[in-house]
Amino acid sequence: MPLQIVGAGLGRTGTHSLKVALEELLGGPCYHMVEVFQHPDHMALWIDGLRGRDVDWHALFAGYVATVDWPGSGVWEPIAAAFPDAPVLLSTRASADEWHRSASRTIFEGMATRGSDDTPRAAMNDAMREQFGVPSWRDEAACKAAYERHNDHVRAVVPPERLVEWQPSDGWGPLCAALGVPVPPHPFPVTNTTADFRAMLGLDP
């Protein structure tokens, strides 16, 4: 089965909760950054994609029903072109300030604490940063501007009938409407909070 959802939303826009929700709605696995860590051989493919080289997206996503989060959101356009029948899901936060508060205390800090080395993971992080268009993950103004630029670009190029916008407070509604499935009778999942993420990486004493 090809991808049913192409996620264009950046990390820290509720993407892990989306992963859990989409897996329930679609009955299959959703690709997320955690998948990259479980499949380190994928990192070279993501580096290629982020740097504009050709990737066989159908092969990479074989067995997956959706993709959300980085690194996929950095190259959502070629993925969307490879799966033209899939809605494009743009997950955002209420403001760039809110997004940056979460990202700076989680993924950006996590990447900074790992330093710079020659591992594939470090190379993928560099490719993500370069594609995002910022000199450093610590540059708050540049990151906020890149976040706004990314979201504006998605809205500008995706046809309205294909675009699904979603924020964490929206819950099941927009997803179920886009997929034509019933709303589950239980609350929308809330996972990978800032506290959860920092605990996972040991960022707090």
Q: Radius of gyration over alpha carbons of the chain, in Å? A: 16
**Domain assignment of residue 39, given as a range:** 5-201
- Residue with structure tokens 């710079």? 116
Show Cβ contacts of residue 89 under 8 Å, excluding neighbours closer than 6 positions: 5, 6, 7, 8, 9, 18, 66, 68, 164, 166, 175, 178
Question: pLDDT digit of tens for each residue in the chain (205 aa)?
Answer: 899 999 999 999 999 999 999 999 999 999 999 999 899 999 999 999 999 999 999 999 999 999 999 999 999 999 999 999 999 999 999 999 999 998 988 788 767 655 456 688 889 999 999 999 999 988 999 999 999 999 999 999 999 999 999 999 999 999 999 999 999 999 999 875 555 544 454 445 5
- Residue with structure tokens 């494009």? 88
pLDDT score at 112: 61
How many CB atoms neighbour CB 36 within 10 A?
21
Tokens of 126: 């560099």
The length of the chain is: 205
pLDDT score at 205: 52
How many CB atoms neighbour CB 136 within 10 A?
11
Show Cβ contacts of residue 99 under 8 Å, excluding neighbours closer than 6 positions: 10, 12, 13, 92, 93, 144, 147
pLDDT score at 203: 47
- What angle is formed at CA 98 by the lines to CA 164 and CA 93, rounded to 5 degrees? 5
C-beta of residue 26 within 8 angstroms of C-beta of residue 66: yes
C-beta of residue 94 within 8 angstroms of C-beta of residue 13: no
CATH number at residue 45: 3.40.50.300
pLDDT score at 201: 46
- What angle is formed at CA 91 by the lines to CA 142 and CA 113, rounded to 5 degrees? 50
pLDDT score at 81: 98
pTM over 0.85: yes
pLDDT score at 121: 86
How many distinct structural domains can be found in the chain? Answer: 1
pLDDT score at 198: 40
